Amino acid sequence: MTLPLMTKATAVWLVDNTTLAFTQIAEFCGLHELEVNGIADGEVAVGVKGFDPIANNQLTAEEIKRCEENPKAKLQLMYNPAAEGELKRKGPRYTPLSKRQDRPSAIAWLVKFHPELTDGQISKLVGTTKPTIMAIRDRTHWNIGNINPVDPVALGMCKQIELDTAVAKAVKKMGGDEVMSDDERMKLVSTEQSLHMPDEPRVPSSITGLENFSLSTPEEEPAIDADSLFKTPAPGADEEE
């Protein structure tokens, strides 16, 4: 459903200037009914100036009157050619200027820990271009020596659920349900799945000399008498010897 411009300000205007039901206003503005109720009580959108939907060609006075007479009717937003496709923009995600310097670190993290993700998926997650991703993959980026992998979720570039969804799609496309090694499985499963995996204790392969290590209980050593350790030899004992 297409929403009006400045939804909360439009709701403020409708609450102050019409007798529409809170449900009607909430559905038209994409808000919760309790939020509209809070606007009427002065607890929500305090200080927000109302935005007239009639003056801005989003509603007509006749449409408002029709819905005021029938509380079950729904407001119909006027067709606005300029808003066509507004909710389905294509292209990479917009990244604020303050976070653009962190994009290479986020890309490096995704390339390292989620190699199953395609360049297109990484581009949508962090709002970058494919040439930049390829440069980091090939380690030909001009600043590759100073790039340290950092989780894009921690950097605020994407949400955890978005990352999990992208990983799940990549795993499904690659046939992630097939039998794989432990290392591959940990790379291909999503974060939510990995958190529910049982722990599998295993000896690190890089440590040698543990092949004959036994977990059995060691043999009991004979008890040591503490008094015998501090007992002073009798005078003249050395002379007799």
pLDDT tens by residue, 94-118: 556 556 788 899 999 999 999 999 9
| Choice between 68 and 225, residue whose per-residue pLDDT is larger | 68
What is each CA distance from 25 to 37, 51, 117, in whole angstroms?
Answer: 10, 13, 42
pLDDT of residue 140: 92
Cα gap 166→108, rounded to integer Å: 16
pTM above 0.85, yes or no: no
Instruction: Please report, as a single letter, which amino acid is at residue 95.
Output: T
pLDDT at 15: 92
Measure the N-to-C terminal CA separation of the chain; round to a whole number of Å.
107
Query: Is residue 189 over pLDDT 70?
Result: no
Q: Where are the domains of the chain?
A: 7-83, 97-173
Please write the tens of the pLDDT for every residue from 124-152. 898 888 999 999 999 999 988 999 999 98
Residue 78 banded pLDDT, cuts 50, 70, 90: confident
What is the model's pLDDT at position 62? 93
